[in-house]
Amino acid sequence: MWKTRITALLILLLGFGIGYFVYKSEMSHRAVVKDVAPKGLAKFPFKLGLDLSGGSHLVYRADVSQIAASQVADSMSSLRDVIERRINIFGVSEPSIQVQDGGFSNQGEQRLIVDLPGVTDVSKAIAMIGETPVLDFRTENPVKDAPQQAVVGKDGNVTLDPYASKYIKTDLTGRYLDKAILEFNQNTGEPVVSLQFNTEGSALFEKITRENVGKSVAIFLDGSPISIPTVNEAITGGKAQISGNFTPQEAKTLVGRLNSGALPVNIELISTQTIGPSLGSQATAAGVKAALIGFMAIALFLIIWYRLPGLIATIALSMYVVIMLAIFKLLPVTLTAAGIAGFIISIGIAVDANVLIFERIKEELRGGANVTDSMHNGFKRAWLSVRDSNISSIITAIILYWFGTTLIKGFALVFLIGVLISMISAISITRLFLYTLNIKKTSGFTNFLFGSGLSSAKSQK
Amino acid sequence: MFIIKYKKIFVSISIALVVLSIGAILFFGLNLGIDFKGGSLTEVEYTNISRPDQSVIEASLKTLPTLGQALIQPIGDKGYSIKTRDITDKEHKDVLAALGTSATEKSFTSIGPSVGAELVRKSLISFILVSLGIIFWIAFSFRKVSKPVSSWKYGLIAIITLVHDIMIPVGVFAVLSHFSGVEVDTLFVVAVLTVLGLSVSDTIVVFDRIRENIRIGHFKTFEETVGRSLEQVYTRSIATSSTVIIALLALVFWGPASTKVFALMLTAGMFFGTYSSIFLASPLLVFVKNWQDKKSK
C-alpha cells in the first residue's frame, strides 16, 4: 500500500514539476529581450501559429515545366534554400518555408509555402522574397586592421560587420558561375563542391587566384560569407573546388545555394494571408480565457456530480492539462486558434474515460462488491470501452492530419495527442490516486462518496 | 424502458429534424467561402476617426475598375471587410489606398483558384477516408454479435445515426449562414469530420452494452435487453457529452472569433450525436428486430 502511496505522491510531485516548468518557461520567455538568443527555460516558449502571433502566409506556385522530372525535387529544395537565405537576411524570427510536393490533391503543382511570423506588412514580405540575391567572391583586405564597417540594418539598428572590413569585393560574381556540382574526392571519399565558371568568369578567377596564392578568397552570398577557402595555386580553366569538412548534406546544401545565384525556378504568388498583430493577440487572449473557463466548469461539474472520484478526476485532468502544455512546448506544436479549440475539446473528451470508469465502479458497488474490488473490476471492465470509444476519434484525427492543410493539421495534431494522452492519464493517474485512498469499508458514507447526481451508489438501481 | 416504450415518438423527432435540416440546406444553400472558391478578403479598422459611411467606401473602390465586384460589410463598430476576387499585391495596395490612410489593416487574405480547388479535393478525400475508416471500424466492432440481430444491421444503424448526426449540424449551419452570412470554410470541414468521429463513439458504447447484455442473457426479450442497456449507459453518455459540450460552449462564448462557428457546429453535433445514440440508434434496433420477427411469421 505504501508503495502505491509513494508512487502517487511522486506522480503528483511530477505533475507540479511539469506545471512549474510550463509556468516558469513562459515567464522567462516573456522576460527575454528581443533579438537576444533565449537561454535556459526561455528556449521553450509556446509556438504560436500565424493566426495568433500575427504574420504573413504566402503560397507560391513554382514553374517546373522547364526542368527534368528527376531534377524537380532538387530544384525545389534549392529554391527553398534561396528563399530561406533571402528571408534570414531580414531577421525574421522562425520563418517556415516548406516545399509542397505536387501530389494528387494539388494536381502536380509544385508549391512553396512561406510563413513569416511577425511580418504583417505583406507587401514588404513579398518584396523580401522577390529580391535577387548576390553571389560574389572577395579577397583579403591588405589593410589588416581596417576599421570595422558599421551597417545600418533595415530595422534601423546599427551593427558592426566584421567581414565587410576583412574582405574586399572583386569583379567575380555569381553572374559568371556556370554551375556548381557536388562531387566526392576519389581518394578520401570526402564530399567536395566543384564550381564551373563561364569563359569570362574563368579569366577573372584565374587572375584572382594568381594574385592571392596562400591567401583566402571568400565566397559571399547576400553579403555574408558561406565559404572561405584558401588558394593553393593559380587556377586556369575556370574550375574550382571547395573542400572543407563538409558532411555530404552540407556540401549538397552549398551546391544548392551556389546554383541559386538567382531563383532556380520561376515562382508566382498564388495566395496570401496576413493577420495583423492586434487580431492575433485578441484571438490568443480569447483562446486562453475559453480554456480556463471550460476547464473550471468541467472541474465543477465533475466534483458536484461525481464527488470523490470527481475530485480525483479533476486532479488527473489538471495533470493532463500540464502534460499537454509541456508537450506543446517541447515538441514543439505550433498552436493556432483551431489547435486551441482542439485542445479545449480534448479536455472535455479526457473526462470521458474517467466517467466510463466511475460508472463501472458504481455498478460494481451496486452489485454488492466492496469498494476496493469495485475499483479494480471497474478499471478492468472499462478499459475496453475507453479504447473503443476513442478509436473513431483517433481515426478522424490521423486522416485529418494526413490530408489537411496547415490549418487542419494544427487542429488534428493537438486533437490526436490530446486523445492519446487522455487515455493514458485517465487509466494510469486516476487509478493510482483512487487506489491510494485504500478504502476498505463499505458504508453509507462511502456509497455517498462514490455516488453520482442526487443519489448514492447503493440506492440507484 | 421509457425510451423503448415511446420509440416511435423519438424516432419521429429525429426524422423531422433531419428533414428540416435537409430542407434548410436545399432552401438556403451553403455559401462557399473564399477558402474554396478563391478570392480576397481585406479587413480594416478605423481607429483614429469614426469610420466613413459604407457608400463612401463603395464609391472610392469604384475608382478601381479592374477590381470588379466588391462586397463591403461592416464589422464591429469601427471596421469593414471587403471581399473581391483574388488580387495581386499591387491591387491590394490600391485597395488600401482607396480606403484612406486612417484605415489600419487587421487581416488580408487572397486565395488563388488553384489553392481553393486543392482544398476542395483534400476535403473530399478526407471525408471519404474518414467515412471508410469509421465504417470499417464499426464493422470490426460488431463482428461478434449475431443473434438476434445480425452484426451488419448494427453497422447499418450506426451509419444511419452518423448521417443523422452530421445532417443536423450542417442544417444548423445553413440557417446560420443564411441569417449571419457565415461561409463554408476549412473549419467547417474539420467540424463535420470531427462530429463523425465523436458521434460514432457514443453509439458504439451503447451497442457494446447491448451486446454484453445479450451475452449475459439476464433479460427475457430483445426489447427489454435494449431498454435496460440504455438505462445502464445513458448517465454515462449524458455525463461525458456534457463535459465536451461545456468545453465547446466556453469556446462559443469566450473563444476566438475565428472558431466560434466551428465550436457551435460541434456543439450541435455533440448534442445530437448523444441524442441519436440513445433515442435513435437503439429504438431503430428494436424496430429492425420487430420487422424481422414479422417477416419470419
Percent of chain B with pLDDT over 90: 17
Res B95 pLDDT > 80: yes
Inter-chain CB proximity A270 and B114 less than 8 Å: yes
Please identify every stretch of chain A with a pLDDT value under 50, giving residue numbers as ranges: 133, 154, 458-461
- Kindly tell me the burial class for residue B60, based on how many C-beta atoms sit within 10 Å of its own C-beta (0-12, 13-18, 19 or more): middle
Minimum-distance CB partner of A122 among B89, B239, B259:
B89
| Helix H or strand E encompassing A273 | strand A266-275
Taking the alpha carbons at both ends of chain A, their separation in whole angstroms is: 32
CA A71 and chain centroid, separation:
28
Q: Which cell numbers hold the place of A458?
A: 447503493
Interval B132-144 mean pLDDT: 80
pLDDT tens readout for residues B209-244? 888 888 888 888 888 888 888 888 888 888 888 888
What is the count of structural domains for chain B? Answer: 2
pLDDT of A443: 64
- Going by the DSSP 8-state scheme, the letter that residue B32 receives in this structure is B
- The ipTM assigned to this model is 0.85
Inter-chain CB proximity A405 and B119 less than 8 Å: yes
Same-domain status, B127 and B24: yes
**So where are chain A's domains?**
2-44+276-449, 55-133+266-274, 135-259
- Higher local confidence (pLDDT), B71 or A149: B71
Q: Which residues of B touch A282 (CB under 8 A)?
A: 256-257
Inter-chain CB proximity B118 and A106 less than 8 Å: yes
Q: If phi over 0 gives left and psi between -120 and 50 gives alpha, with beta otherwise, what is residue A92?
A: beta
Inter-chain CB proximity A345 and B93 less than 8 Å: no
Average confidence score pLDDT of chain B: 86
Fold of A135-259: Gyrase A; domain 2 (3.30.1360)
Q: Are A273 and A114 in contact (CB under 8 A)?
A: no
Give the end of a domain, one of B111, B130, B148. B111
- Give the C-alpha distances (Å, rounded to integers) separating A154 from A127, A151, A157, B112: 13, 10, 7, 31
Which residue range is the domain that position B119 belongs to? 2-34+114-296
pLDDT of A145: 61
Dihedral over Cα of B153, B154, B160, B162: its sign: negative
Same-domain status, B122 and B166: yes
Average confidence score pLDDT of chain A: 78
pLDDT of A460: 42
Q: What is the CATH number of the domain that holds B269?
A: 1.20.1640.10
Interval B9-36 mean pLDDT: 91
Q: Are B255 and A287 in contact (CB under 8 A)?
A: yes
Same-domain status, B129 and B23: yes
- How distant is the Cα of B118 from the closest Cα of chain A, in angstroms? 5
- How distant is the Cα of A20 from the closest Cα of chain B, in angstroms? 24
Give the end of a domain, one of B53, B84, B111. B111
Does CATH place domain A55-133+266-274 in 3.30.70.3400?
yes
Q: Which residues of A touch B89 (CB under 8 A)?
A: 122-123, 126, 269, 272
Q: Which residues of B touch A313 (CB under 8 A)?
A: none
Same-domain status, B100 and B176: no
Q: Which cell numbers hold the place of A156?
A: 534601423
The most confident of A62-76, A158-172, B186-200, B272-286, by mean pLDDT: B272-286
Q: If phi over 0 gives left and psi between -120 and 50 gives alpha, with beta otherwise, what is residue B232?
A: alpha
Same-domain status, B16 and B150: yes
Minimum-distance CB partner of B201 among A272, A273, A393:
A393
Q: Which cell numbers hold the place of A426?
A: 485517465
Same-domain status, B182 and B262: yes
Inter-chain CB proximity A408 and B189 less than 8 Å: yes
Dihedral over Cα of B276, B277, B279, B285: its sign: positive
Give the end of a domain, one of B111, B135, B159. B111
Measured distance CA(B80)–CA(B46) in Å, rounded? 9
pLDDT of B218: 80
pLDDT tens readout for residues B141-162? 777 666 677 778 888 888 889 8
| Confidence bin at B22 (pLDDT 50/70/90) | very high
Same-domain status, B79 and B209: no
SS3 A7: helix
Dihedral over Cα of B192, B198, B200, B206: its sign: negative
pLDDT tens readout for residues B162-183? 889 999 999 999 998 888 878 8
Interval B286-295 mean pLDDT: 87
Q: If phi over 0 gives left and psi between -120 and 50 gives alpha, with beta otherwise, what is residue A453?
A: left
Res B296 pLDDT > 60: yes
Fold of A2-44+276-449: Multidrug efflux transporter AcrB transmembrane fold (1.20.1640)
Inter-chain CB proximity A390 and B240 less than 8 Å: no
DSSP secondary structure of A183-244: EE-TTT--EEEEEEE-HHHHHHHHHHHHHTTTSBEEEEETTEEEE-PBP-S---TTEEEE-S
pLDDT of A408: 84
